[in-house]
A and B are shown apart, each in its own frame.
Chain A
Amino acid sequence: MLSISRAVLDAVIAHARADHPDEACGIIAGPLHSDEPQRHVPMVNAERSPTFYRFEPSEQLAVWREMDDNDERPVVIYHSHTATEPYPSRTDVSLASDPDAHYLLVSTRDPDNDEVRSYRIVAGEVSEEEVRVV
Chain B
Amino acid sequence: MAIEVRIPTILRDYTGGAKTVEADGATLSELVDHLESAHPGLKDRLVENGSLRRFVNVYLNDEDVRFLGGLGTELADGDSVTVLPAVAGG
Contact = CB atoms under 8 A, between A and B. Distances in A.
Interface residues on A, range: 20 to 34
Interface residues of B, number: 18
A98 B90 CA distance: 16
Interface stretch (B27-35, B36-44, B55-63, B71-79): B55-63
B22 to A, nearest CB: 19
Contacts of B87: 25, 54-55, 60, 77, 95, 97-98
Interface in A42-80: 47, 51-55, 57-58, 60-61, 64, 77, 79
A120 to B, nearest CB: 14
A60 B9 contact: no
Contacts of B10: 97-99
A131 interface: no
B64 interface: yes
Contacts, number: 65
Give the residue among B10, B64, B88 with the most A Cβ atoms within 10 A: B88
B9 A95 contact: no
A91 interface: yes
11 contacts: A25-B87, A55-B88, A57-B64, A57-B84, A58-B63, A60-B57, A89-B90, A95-B87, A97-B10, A98-B9, A99-B10
